[in-house]
Amino acid sequence: MGITTADFTAALETFADRIRDAREELTALDSAIGDADHGINMDRGMTAVREHLPTLRDGQAGALFKQVGRTLISTVGGASGPLYGTFFLRLGTALGEAEDVSPADVARGLRAGLDGIIGLGKANLDDKTMVDAMTPAVEALEAGAEADFATALAAAADAAAAGRDRITPLVARKGRASYLGERSAGHQDPGATSATILFEALRDQLGRAG
């Protein structure tokens, strides 16, 4: 049995809920090394996404994620808008018009999304960005999705959190935090934090499917 669009919709609702819950925390993290708007912007974007979900729930997963991407690009602004927007656009494009989405499709789609982020933001591993949380998460999913989807999703969420924490001591080399030079070391990255929230939402809503 595949993963349904309703499952993905539930994951996006959970992501939106948790972004709202983390709004202050994300903004506080961004105050330390950025411009104090990450939580505010992501919440504005996911609130806009939430309004589209009821009409997308019954369609194709590809169409769902493309609309999510377009909505984020049009509402978030900053760097997060184009980056998360591209992530979901590429995920939607990878899933295409498939009616039946397999765990392997999800892994491939998330890889395409991550590639989109790297292409646009030009961040490498250890630059201290969302890429440091997403890369190990996607790798974990690719390694285990076909064997045991729920376990692989849990491993992906853990890998994202570990990536987020691993880069805290590093000096940022991309994005606004890079302007601080050495002073960015020791601060948790807001983008890696929101990316971890995304993979935790996928774990909690898709783990039961597939």
Partner 1 sequence: MKKLINLPDNVVDEALAGMARAHADLIRVESPNIVVRKDAPRQGKVGVISGGGSGHEPMHGGFVGRGMLDAACPGAVFTSPVPDQMLAATQAVDGGAGVLHIVKNYTGDIMNFELAAELARAEGIDVEAVVIADDVAVKDSLYTAGRRGVGGTVLAEKIVGAAAEEGADLATVKALCEKVQDNVRSMGMALTSCTVPAAGKPTFDIGDDEMEIGIGIHGEPGRERRKLAPADEITEALATPILDDLPFQSGDRVLAFVNGMGGTPLLELYVVYRKLAEILDGRGVTIARSLVGNYITSLEMAGCSITLLKLDDELTRLWDAPVNTPALRWGV
The reply to whether 19 sits near partner 1 by the rule CB under 8 A is no
Cβ proximity to partner 1, 35 vs 58, nearer residue = 35
The reply to whether 67 sits near partner 1 by the rule CB under 8 A is no
Q: Which of 21, 119, 148, 179 binds partner 1 (CB under 8 A)?
A: 179
Total number of residues that touch partner 1 (CB under 8 A): 34
Q: Which of 73, 140, 201, 202 binds partner 1 (CB under 8 A)?
A: 73
Q: How far is CA 187 from CA 25, 30, 75, 166, in A?
A: 13, 9, 27, 11
Minimum Å gap between C-beta 179 and partner 1 is 5
Minimum Å gap between C-beta 141 and partner 1 is 26
Q: Tell which residue, 109, 118, 107, has the closest CA to residue 88.
A: 109
Minimum Å gap between C-beta 108 and partner 1 is 25
Instruction: Compute the Cα dihedral for 166, 172, 173, 177 and give only its sign.
Output: positive
Applying the rule CB under 8 A, the residues between 85 and 144 that interact with partner 1 are: 120-121
**Distance (Å, whole) CA 178 – CA 128:** 9
For 52, the token pair is 């589209």
The reply to whether 36 sits near partner 1 by the rule CB under 8 A is yes
Q: Which of 18, 20, 57, 174 binds partner 1 (CB under 8 A)?
A: 174
* DSSP class of 79: T
The reply to whether 74 sits near partner 1 by the rule CB under 8 A is yes
Show Cβ contacts of residue 106 under 8 Å, excluding neighbours closer than 6 positions.
3, 141, 145, 149, 206, 210
- The amino acid occupying position 125 is L
Which residues, listed in sequence order, are joined to residue 101 by a DSSP beta bridge?
3
The reply to whether 80 sits near partner 1 by the rule CB under 8 A is yes
Instruction: Please identify, among the stretches 12-20, 59-67, 171-179, 201-209, the one whose residues bind partner 1 according to the rule CB under 8 A.
Output: 171-179
Q: Collapsing DSSP states into helix, strand and coil, what is residue 174?
A: coil
Minimum Å gap between C-beta 30 and partner 1 is 9
Q: Which of 14, 41, 67, 194 binds partner 1 (CB under 8 A)?
A: 41
Mark out the alpha helices in the chain (DSSP H runs).
Answer: 5-21, 23-33, 38-56, 61-75, 80-95, 103-121, 131-144, 149-166, 190-206
**Distance (Å, whole) CA 39 – CA 199:** 17
Give the footprint of partner 1 on this chain (CB under 8 A).
27, 31-37, 40-41, 44, 73-83, 120-121, 171, 173-176, 178-181, 183
